[in-house]
A and B are shown apart, each in its own frame.
Chain A
């Protein structure tokens, strides 16, 4: 099982952002994607889940051998793709419980409300999330760190095959970063692939990537092992 990105070219409002990206994310592996601001990291994350703002002008996204380039986001999610947003949206009137239960039941064998709540409580405890969050409206009034934890909570509950984590570490203090990293490590297993998008080496102190790729100006400029992340930290993106 793998998620393949083949020679992907993507435009936003007529401007080419991704200029021929090829990447393969394999099950059981953590693939870190690093790059400076504006290099196209979030564009890649969004286009993988089918954000309508982006236009694929060339190339393909293949999930387990199936071309999903033109599928709507909900179908991609049903096939096991997950995106943790860099800037999670607030949705007033929809509780975290109801949101997650609807998402869970749309992608899994539906659980009764009692069984779902037990599952949710177990995952919340794992992430040290206050029980009261279950009844709060999605992300409304959450701090930056709480929003990121809520994103990882979604991943723990939904158990996707491939998770794309777009700068999940941004806006987290050291303690929250550790908890979030633990949460990511919990779901990292032989059945799951992770594309971990980040600016910094910081989160990679807690999560060991199998592969590190560098994205600059819409192109993958280098791929290597975890040592590549350390080199970036020391030398910066330009020198590489």
Chain B
């Protein structure tokens, strides 16, 4: 799934349906290992609990994630499915702007509480930080 595709869908929907779609995306999130649900994998600044791990294989990024909040699961699914398999260099140089555009175009902040809306920024920041630590 492309992030652009999710961006297009979410931009076309009114607020209530945006949440429904986010929850729908969340169902695409793959299972997250119980042993990885530890402090060091927590996404900081998130009201609800969210975890994120990254693995760099053959110069490509592979993320896994989990959250107990349905909308956050949706964010994680969109970002993880969108970025997984991307070249490290490309990820580091484009990820932030891709997510910035996603936030602006979908106007998701309007349908979520401020803390939930900030989560997307927190997730991408931690994604970038974790990838940098590995290369």
Contact A97 B12 (CB under 8 A): yes
Which residues of chain B are near A135, meaning CB under 8 Å? 12-14
Residues in chain A near residue B13, CB distance under 8 A:
97, 113, 117, 135
Instruction: Flag whether B9 is at the interface (Cβ < 8 A).
Output: yes
- State whether B17 touches A114 (Cβ < 8 A): no
B24 near A131: Cβ-Cβ < 8 Å: no
Is the C-beta of A112 less than 8 angstroms from some C-beta in chain B?
Answer: yes
Interface size for chain A: under 10, 10 to 19, 20 to 34, or 35 or more residues? 10 to 19
B21 and A114 contacting across the interface, CB-CB below 8 Å: yes
Across-interface contacts of B20 in A (CB, < 8 A): 113
Contact with B along A119-143 (1 / 0, CB 8 A): 0000000000001001100000000
**Contact B17–A98 (Cβ < 8 Å):** yes
Q: How far is the CA of A117 from the CA of B27 in the complex (A)?
A: 16
Interface of B is mostly: helix
Asked whether any CB of chain A lies closer than 8 Å to the CB of B83, the reply is: no
Check A107 for interface membership: any CB of B closer than 8 A.
no
Q: Is A95 an interface residue (CB 8 A)?
A: yes
A-B contact count (CB 8 A): 28
Within 8 A of A (CB), among B75-117: none
Say whether B12 contacts A113, CB under 8 Å. Answer: no
Instruction: Closest B residue to A134 by CB, please name it.
Output: B12
Task: Determine if B25 and A117 form an interchain contact, defined as CB atoms under 8 angstroms apart.
Answer: no
A31 to B17, CA, bound (A): 40
Q: Are A131 and B8 interface neighbours, CB within 8 A?
A: yes
**Please, what's the 1-or-0 string for A140-157, where 1 marks a CB less than 8 Å from any CB in chain B?**
000000000000000000
**A117–B20 CA distance with the chains assembled, in angstroms:** 12
Complex: how many Å from CA A98 to CA B8? 16
Nearest residue (CB) in A for B27 is: A112
Q: Specify the chain B residue showing the minimal Cβ separation from A112.
A: B24
Separation in Å of the B91 CB from the closest CB of chain A? Answer: 24
> Which residues of chain B have C-beta atoms less than 8 A from A112's C-beta?
24, 27
Kindly list chain B residues whose C-beta atoms are within 8 Å of the C-beta of A95: 14
Which of B8, B12, B13, B17 is packed against the most chain A CB atoms within 10 Å?
B12
For B14, the closest partner residue in chain A by CB is: A95
Query: In the docked arrangement, what's the CA distance between A215 and B24, Å?
Result: 50
Interchain CB contact under 8 A, A113 and B17:
yes
Contact, CB under 8 Å: A114 / B12:
no
- A117–B22 CA distance with the chains assembled, in angstroms: 13
- Residues of A whose CB lies within 8 Å of any CB of B are 95, 97-98, 112-114, 117, 131, 134-135
Q: Which 9 A-B pairs have the closest CB atoms?
A: A114-B24, A135-B12, A112-B24, A113-B21, A117-B9, A134-B12, A113-B20, A113-B24, A114-B21
Residue pairs across A and B with Cβ atoms less than 8 A apart, 9 shown, are A97-B12, A113-B9, A113-B21, A114-B24, A114-B25, A117-B9, A117-B12, A117-B21, A135-B13
Report which B residues bind A (CB closer than 8 A).
8-9, 12-14, 17, 20-21, 24-25, 27
Known pairs A114-B25, A134-B12 / 18 extra A-B pairs, C-beta < 8 Å: A97-B13, A97-B17, A98-B14, A98-B17, A112-B24, A112-B27, A113-B13, A113-B20, A113-B21, A113-B24, A114-B21, A114-B24, A117-B9, A117-B12, A117-B13, A117-B21, A131-B12, A135-B12
